[in-house]
């Protein structure tokens, strides 16, 4: 009897594909195995989603699978179901979803659970050698010394990033030999957990939180709302101890690994267990190795960014999402999934706890906590001896400014610096100046491919477009009138840094933004310099706002936030509230009291007043009411369809067609087509159509019904379009 399989493939078509299975391949066929199949002229790796004995395709159309790659399903059932659910929710195919979920090496067909590996040993001859003969070849010497202690497996070489050429050199000298070794997994942590340090004595609120969390059984989702510095991480660590002692693993998701090396180290330090850290800096092989260690249960703790959500665990016990409000948990290209929402679904499917922690919870999570769908725990006091910060507004209307700083801010800075403390200045604009202005004719130089001004980067002697990456040498003459009187307009971090060096020559300045941290390891170095007290003035963009613990920072100044208050995006006030609160939270985290000063032209702005007077918690709750009144998320549900084309009318025509297809009612509204806030980017016009529905299920059903019609629209071929469910921004 002929057997057929359906295969999910990583191609941008919303469907699975049928293949024939040859007799000799049929023995161990199962759903969830990877197969290699011909697709057009390529060979692709996909996952079996169904096994059938008939197929609709004509016999001459159907191809056979090339090979079956696994003997057991690649993913645990929970994750298989999660990708299936996510594919439906985000209106994509399971194959596309899987290509987000699987490490690249597995998508290329590498072995998911090898039984044996290659091990490198010193030869008899090698063991007689004094390592100092290698002192001119440090990489070889390092490898040699490691091998003197223990043989190393192929994977260890990969995970420890040891030099391949050093290995080859030592092999050529016949000091190293290869042997085949069985792979074993060390699961001893499950029976006897060793602690490397003793925990803090919890304060009362922390203790309450931990006791609630440790008593919950099975699936529960909990919002841990704790002000910055209230000791959330300490709560995670204590909960983790209980979970690990039960022999279960924990998955911890964080916004960006590089930004918070301290937090990662706290997890690594406390327990004597293997911690798999998964981030974008890993090679494909390192990532696969981390994935395997999690899947077999050897890694007790898995820490990673957004996509680590899909890491399988042999003994799932807990999922923590730290800084759950952070927008980096939402993928902004390809399949636009949200790791937080999928984490909650995963917790449900694996029947384990999910903890969402933040000082500034997203309105989505807050609503779920208030409505009782999630549990809600609060930490309202700073842990240890740290005190609440003092805050103040400086109205800069018609005040003289020096590089954007008012006299009162500069005075205050001087006082804190003279007392030996650090000062942090926040300015969310990198570069020297956000525009290049002609002093004679007033022309502002605009990117030729976007509706945006060029940013001036003086150090690089370039003007760059931050939207499309377009860059030129700083022009000598105005593009409009030919004048040579060109100047930077507005203030960026580069200029601020220069001015500060002049203003405070005795206090070293460090600037942290994407330009100064591009080189690998430079951010770590800069952060180290801050902890060591080498720098006294810290200037930076939001990279400085996230999660850092700088004990000597006592003053935080926010330079120019008015732009953030005026954005067209409905999430702008929420984002501003989070940013302000997180930046302020960098002040006074240890035993010294902290102060925050915010400069604004908008000192009467109601959003600002509300936030400063009542704090993020109350502010967010009133924002939630406003969203309800405006029928916006999270009260209503949203799907955004974006279309871009070289001709604006192509994008508009396509979206207008979609709008016609959707049955509108007073519970399902369609808005658009309208231009995106950045209407032209990289030479293309960008238009959008917004669907807002009262009922999530209704939105799902209606959109699923029209999706295949949308795909068949002839207009769909004339633009690039994407579907963004629960969009995080309208750009």
Q: How far is the CB of 446 from Zn ion (least distance, A)?
A: 9
Per CB under 5 A, 464 contacts Zn ion:
no
Q: Is 55 annotated as a binding residue?
A: no
- Residues 231, 359 contacting (CB under 8 angstroms): no
Q: How far is the CB of 612 from Zn ion (least distance, A)?
A: 36
3-class SS at 282?
coil
Q: How far is the CB of 687 from ligand ADP (least distance, A)?
A: 41
Binding segment for Zn ion among 375-383, 447-455, 617-625, 688-696 (CB under 5 A)?
A: 447-455
C-alpha 727/C-alpha 725 separation (Å) is 5
DSSP label of 271: B
Contacts with ligand ADP, residue ranges (CB under 6 A): 200-203, 206, 226, 228-234, 383-384, 549
Q: State the binding partner of 294 from ligand ADP, Zn ion, none, CB within 5 to 8 A by kind.
A: none
Query: What are the distances in angstroms from CA 695 to CA 342, 372, 374, 631?
Result: 19, 18, 19, 11
Radius of gyration of the chain from its Cα atoms, rounded to whole angstroms: 28
Residues linked to residue 366 through DSSP beta bridges, in sequence order: none
Q: How far is the CB of 420 from ligand ADP (least distance, A)?
A: 20
Q: List alpha helices for 419-547, DSSP H.
A: 493-503, 522-531
Per CB under 5 A, 449 contacts Zn ion:
yes
Phi-psi map region of 270: left, alpha, beta (phi>0 left; psi -120 to 50 alpha)? alpha
Of the residues 81, 141, 173, 443, which one makes contact with Zn ion according to CB under 5 A: 443
Q: Is 221 annotated as a binding residue?
A: no
C-alpha 644/C-alpha 720 separation (Å) is 5
Q: How many residues bind Zn ion (CB under 5 A)?
A: 15
Q: Any idea which residue has 């207009």 for tokens?
A: 715
Tokens in use for 317? 């016990």
Binding segment for Zn ion among 169-177, 446-454, 548-556, 630-638 (CB under 5 A)?
A: 446-454
Asked whether the bond before 634 is cis by omega within 30 degrees of 0, the reply is: yes
Overall residue count recorded for the chain in this entry: 731
**Cα 328 to the chain's mean position, in Å?**
4
226 φ/ψ angles, rounded to the nearest 5 degrees:
-135, 130
Q: State the binding partner of 483 from ligand ADP, Zn ion, none, CB within 5 to 8 A by kind.
A: Zn ion
Q: How far is the CB of 400 from Zn ion (least distance, A)?
A: 27
C-alpha 118/C-alpha 154 separation (Å) is 6
Binding segment for Zn ion among 367-375, 449-457, 491-499, 626-634 (CB under 5 A)?
A: 449-457
Q: How far is the CB of 731 from Zn ion (least distance, A)?
A: 13
Residues linked to residue 511 through DSSP beta bridges, in sequence order: 539
Q: State the binding partner of 478 from Zn ion, ligand ADP, none, CB within 5 to 8 A by kind.
A: Zn ion
Q: How far is the CB of 727 from Zn ion (least distance, A)?
A: 22
Relative to beta strand 435-438, strand 486-489 is antiparallel
Tell me whether residue 232 or residue 725 sits nearer to ligand ADP (CB atom): 232
Q: How far is the CB of 721 from Zn ion (least distance, A)?
A: 21
On the 0-12 / 13-18 / 19+ scale of CB atoms within 10 A, 359 is buried
Q: State the binding partner of 467 from Zn ion, ligand ADP, none, CB within 5 to 8 A by kind.
A: Zn ion
Tell me whether residue 253 or residue 486 sits nearer to Zn ion (CB atom): 486
C-alpha 135/C-alpha 457 separation (Å) is 43
Tell me whether residue 300 or residue 447 sits nearer to Zn ion (CB atom): 447
Per CB under 5 A, 467 contacts Zn ion:
yes
C-alpha 382/C-alpha 385 separation (Å) is 7
Q: Is 464 annotated as a binding residue?
A: no
Tell me whether residue 382 or residue 595 sits nearer to ligand ADP (CB atom): 382
Q: State the binding partner of 136 from ligand ADP, Zn ion, none, CB within 5 to 8 A by kind.
A: none
Tokens in use for 167? 């290995």
Site string for Zn ion, 480-509 (x = CB under 5 A): xx-x--------------------------
DSSP label of 206: H
Tell me whether residue 467 or residue 571 sits nearer to Zn ion (CB atom): 467
Per CB under 5 A, 450 contacts Zn ion:
yes
Residues that bind Zn ion (CB under 5 A): 438, 440-441, 443, 447, 449-450, 465, 467-468, 470, 478, 480-481, 483
* Residue numbering of the annotated binding site for Zn(2+): 438, 441, 447, 450, 465, 468, 478, 481
């Amino acid at each position: 009897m002929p057997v057929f399989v359906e295969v999910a493939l990583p191609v941008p078509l919303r469907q699975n594909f049928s293949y024939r299975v040859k007799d000799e391949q049929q023995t161990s066929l199962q759903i969830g195995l990877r197969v290699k199949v011909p697709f057009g002229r390529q060979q692709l790796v996909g996952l079996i989603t169904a096994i059938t004995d008939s197929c609709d395709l004509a016999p001459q159309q159907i191809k056979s699978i090339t090979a079956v790659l696994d003997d057991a399903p690649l993913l645990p059932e929970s994750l298989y179901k999660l990708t299936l659910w996510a594919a439906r929710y985000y209106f994509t195919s399971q194959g596309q979803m899987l290509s987000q979920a699987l490490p690249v090496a597995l998508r290329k067909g590498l072995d998911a659970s090898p039984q044996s590996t290659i091990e490198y040993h010193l030869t008899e001859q090698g063991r007689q050698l004094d390592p100092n003969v290698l002192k001119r070849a440090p990489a070889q010497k390092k490898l040699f010394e490691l091998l003197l202690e223990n043989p190393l497996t192929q994977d260890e070489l990969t995970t420890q990033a040891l030099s391949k050429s050093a290995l080859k050199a030592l092999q050529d000298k016949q000091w190293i030999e290869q042997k085949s070794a069985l792979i074993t997994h060390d699961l001893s942590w499950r029976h006897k957990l060793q602690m490397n340090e003793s925990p803090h004595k919890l304060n009362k609120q922390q203790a309450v939180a931990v006791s609630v969390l440790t008593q919950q059984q099975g699936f529960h989702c909990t919002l841990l709302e704790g002000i910055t510095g209230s000791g959330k991480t300490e709560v995670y660590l204590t909960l983790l101890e209980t979970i690990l002692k039960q022999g279960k693993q924990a998955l911890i998701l964080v916004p960006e690994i590089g930004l918070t090396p301290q937090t990662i180290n706290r997890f690594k330090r406390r327990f004597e267990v293997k911690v798999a850290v998964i981030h974008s800096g890993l090679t494909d092989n390192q990532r696969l190795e981390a994935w395997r260690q999690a899947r077999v249960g050897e890694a007790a703790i898995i820490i990673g960014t957004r996509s680590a959500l899909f890491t399988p665990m042999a003994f799932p016990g807990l999922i923590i999402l730290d800084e759950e409000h952070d927008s980096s948990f939402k993928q902004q290209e390809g399949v636009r999934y949200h790791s937080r929402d999928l984490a909650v679904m995963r917790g449900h499917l694996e029947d384990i706890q999910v903890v969402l922690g933040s000082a500034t919870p997203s309105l989505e999570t807050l609503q779920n906590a208030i409505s009782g769908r999630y549990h809600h725990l609060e930490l309202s006091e700073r842990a240890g001896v740290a005190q609440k910060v003092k805050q103040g507004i400086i109205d800069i209307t018609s005040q003289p400014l020096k590089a954007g700083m008012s006299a009162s801010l500069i005075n205050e800075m001087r006082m804190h610096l003279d007392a030996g403390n650090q000062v942090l200045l926040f300015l969310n604009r990198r570069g020297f100046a956000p525009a290049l202005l002609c002093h004679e004719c007033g022309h502002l130089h605009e990117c030729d491919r976007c509706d945006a001004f060029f940013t001036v980067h003086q150090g690089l002697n370039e003007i760059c477009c931050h939207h499309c990456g377009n860059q030129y040498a700083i022009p000598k003459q105005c593009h409009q009138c030919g004048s040579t009187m060109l100047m930077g307009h507005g203030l960026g971090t580069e200029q601020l840094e220069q001015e500060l060096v002049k203003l405070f020559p005795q206090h070293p300045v460090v600037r942290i933004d994407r330009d100064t941290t591009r080189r690998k390891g430079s951010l770590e170095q800069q952060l180290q310099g801050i902890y060591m007290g080498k720098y006294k003035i810290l200037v930076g963009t939001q990279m400085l706002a996230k999660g850092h613990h700088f004990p000597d920072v006592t003053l935080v100044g926010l330079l120019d936030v008015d732009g953030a208050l005026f954005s067209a995006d409905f999430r702008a006030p929420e984002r501003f509230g989070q940013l302000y609160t997180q930046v302020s939270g960098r002040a006074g985290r240890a035993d010294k009291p902290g102060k925050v000063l915010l400069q604004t032209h908008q000192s009467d702005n109601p959003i600002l007043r509300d936030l400063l007077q009542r704090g993020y918690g109350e502010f967010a709750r009133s924002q939630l009411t406003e969203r309800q009144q405006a029928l916006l998320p999270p009260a209503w549900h949203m799907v955004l369809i974006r279309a871009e084309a070289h001709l604006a009318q192509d994008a508009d025509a396509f979206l207008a067609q979609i709008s016609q297809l959707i049955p509108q009612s007073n519970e399902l509204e369609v808005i658009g087509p309208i231009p995106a806030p950045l209407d032209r980017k990289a030479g293309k016009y960008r238009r959008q159509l917004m669907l807002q529905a009262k009922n999530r299920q209704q939105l799902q059903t209606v959109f699923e019904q029209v999706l295949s019609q949308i795909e068949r629209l002839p207009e769909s071929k004339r633009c690039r379009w994407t579907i963004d469910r629960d969009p995080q921004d309208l750009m």
